[in-house]
Chain A
């Protein structure tokens, strides 16, 4: 326990330092705006740390390096690729970058716009696709996603190697991975999808489970190359939920569609029920998306806020309190990391299972379960 606490304390240091560094930057910018007040804009700082970025600022103790990631844009005139270094760290739309095709871009809060379209509008809408090119930049979070998947691939590759052995007893990393795989199979896939059809969906459920779990855990380590807020990004959870939605829709059998477009209710209720059922199709994955995003985003916000309390109070004396709360929250976040991976996967399995359920299966399958509870 003591060791754990110490490890967490050590993990805290870089985050505090990066907070200090970030605080300095933000403070400077605020001064640039003309604000007299010293200190830090907590909201902007949290937004910066939990959001995506075109640059990857690697901060570990005594070392800071800004990795400029490639900007890939689909403009009116075609593809445009250049380094994000050209924006010189600007996020206020002041630095205008001209590419080889003559397009002029500015970057405002990590969104790249056409410079001439936002000249008079300092707060453009992200969803106004006329004022900006489509942005397929390899951003910090894209890098983080790749990183997580690579770690996962290595882990699974080494786990798989164990099974080449003749006795096939899990050893080493497989001892940790195999129980999780069996957990996903026996506790998530089989009870929700059914013993006949679950095998087809195992790769998807396992990939989702391990990706979310690993992203959550890596997000908890507060220094480079970890500490990315991947599952706390609503776009990532949107894509995950979209896959579940697609699989659910593809899995849907006659009974599933009949239940939506011709629900077994009296005729006069049907005009209400059919729209509700159709909405339900989309609300289910939407809830998946929001649940995972909100949990992880809130967790990261709390952790950063706890560290920032030191700077808000402006006293190093507050550090032990912050640290203790950080450790406490860190433990809760480890629990949440597993829990959210579990919840997302089990609900995905449940939705797929519902779409696959036969009429009689549903009746026989659900009644004993209800009786148990």
Chain B
């Protein structure tokens, strides 16, 4: 171990240690630790700020998304309504046309019926007349009561409705 007079180094070591611990603290440790601490605080704050910004961005994005979704929904709604309206209009138009056509048809049918009726009546008259004439010619004489005969044939003909 070679222990020389111990007070020598006790003295110098204590002296140098105290002097240099003081100098190092003043010139080095304190300012460095302060600077490091400040930097750490700044970093911490920056990280927090970034986190906050990130959250805000996320919120904003969510809001945008929501807005977009809503717009899309509204568009769908409008489109759907338009389509319904179109369908309704078409359907209405169609039913209207149908009605008009059927009315027209009914009218026409009635007219035809009336015409037919008239024609038939006329035909009956003529048939009766012709029949009588034919009968007269065949028999060679006129029926005494011509009027009565025509009436009779007519009656038979109407019983024999042609269609």
B9–A141 touching, CB < 8 Å: yes
Contacts A160-B32, A163-B35 given; indicate if A203 touches B5 (C-beta within 8 A): no
Question: Is A325 interfacial (CB-CB < 8 Å)?
Answer: no
A203–B29 touching, CB < 8 Å: yes
Question: Is B100 interfacial (CB-CB < 8 Å)?
Answer: no
Contacting residues of chain B (15-69) with chain A, CB-CB under 8 angstroms: 16-17, 19-21, 23-25, 27-33, 35-36, 38-39
Closest B residue by C-beta to A177: B32
Question: Is B163 interfacial (CB-CB < 8 Å)?
Answer: no
Contacting residues of chain A (191-208) with chain B, CB-CB under 8 angstroms: 199, 202-204, 206-207
Q: Which of B14, B28, B30, B39 contacts A159 (CB 8 A)?
A: B28
Contacts A168-B35, A297-B1 given; indicate if A156 touches B6 (C-beta within 8 A): no
Minimal beta-carbon separation of A171 from chain B (angstroms): 13
A50–B2 touching, CB < 8 Å: yes
Question: Is A42 interfacial (CB-CB < 8 Å)?
Answer: no
B8–A137 touching, CB < 8 Å: yes
Minimal beta-carbon separation of A82 from chain B (angstroms): 15
Q: Which of B8, B24, B31, B36 contacts A139 (CB 8 A)?
A: B8
Q: Which of A111, A178, A203, A235 contacts B10 (CB 8 A)?
A: A235
A126–B6 touching, CB < 8 Å: yes
Q: Which residues of B contact A48 (CB under 8 A)?
A: 2
Minimal beta-carbon separation of B95 from chain A (angstroms): 82
Q: Which residues of B contact A233 (CB under 8 A)?
A: 9
Most chain B CB neighbours (cut-off 10 Å) among A52, A132, A239 = A239
Contacting residues of chain A (96-126) with chain B, CB-CB under 8 angstroms: 109-112, 126
Q: Which residues of A contact B28 (CB under 8 A)?
A: 153, 156-157, 159-160
Contacts A51-B4, A238-B10 given; indicate if A211 touches B17 (C-beta within 8 A): yes
Minimal beta-carbon separation of B28 from chain A (angstroms): 3
Q: Which residues of A contact B12 (CB under 8 A)?
A: 136, 138-139, 141-142, 145-146
Minimal beta-carbon separation of A70 from chain B (angstroms): 12
A136–B13 touching, CB < 8 Å: no
Q: Which residues of A contact B30 (CB under 8 A)?
A: 203
Majority SS of interface residues in chain B? Answer: helix
Minimal beta-carbon separation of B162 from chain A (angstroms): 118
Cα–Cα, bound, A156→B12 (Å): 22
Closest A residue by C-beta to B26: A203
B20–A152 touching, CB < 8 Å: yes
In this complex, the interface size class of chain B, counting residues with CB under 8 Å from chain A, is 20 to 34
A52–B2 touching, CB < 8 Å: yes
Q: Which of B2, B16, B36 contacts A145 (CB 8 A)?
A: B16
B32–A207 touching, CB < 8 Å: no
Q: Which residues of A contact B9 (CB under 8 A)?
A: 52, 139, 141-142, 145, 233, 235-236, 239
A207–B8 touching, CB < 8 Å: no
Question: Is A135 interfacial (CB-CB < 8 Å)?
Answer: yes
A51–B2 touching, CB < 8 Å: yes
Question: Is B145 interfacial (CB-CB < 8 Å)?
Answer: no
Question: Is B159 interfacial (CB-CB < 8 Å)?
Answer: no
Q: Which of B2, B17, B25 contacts A239 (CB 8 A)?
A: B17
B10–A206 touching, CB < 8 Å: no
Cα–Cα, bound, A146→B36 (Å): 28
Q: Which of B4, B13, B32 contacts A178 (CB 8 A)?
A: B32
Question: Is A185 interfacial (CB-CB < 8 Å)?
Answer: yes
Contacts A126-B4, A136-B7, A236-B9 given; indicate if A207 touches B33 (C-beta within 8 A): no
Cα–Cα, bound, A243→B23 (Å): 17
Q: A132-B5, A149-B16 are in contact. List 5 more A-B contacts (CB 8 A).
A: A112-B5, A156-B27, A168-B38, A236-B9, A236-B13
- Measured CB to CB, the residues of A under 8 A from B are 47-48, 50-53, 109-112, 126, 132, 134-139, 141-142, 145-146, 149, 152-153, 156-157, 159-160, 163, 168, 177-178, 181-182, 185, 199, 202-204, 206-207, 210-211, 233-236, 238-240, 243, 297
- Measured CB to CB, the residues of B under 8 A from A are 1-14, 16-17, 19-21, 23-25, 27-33, 35-36, 38-39
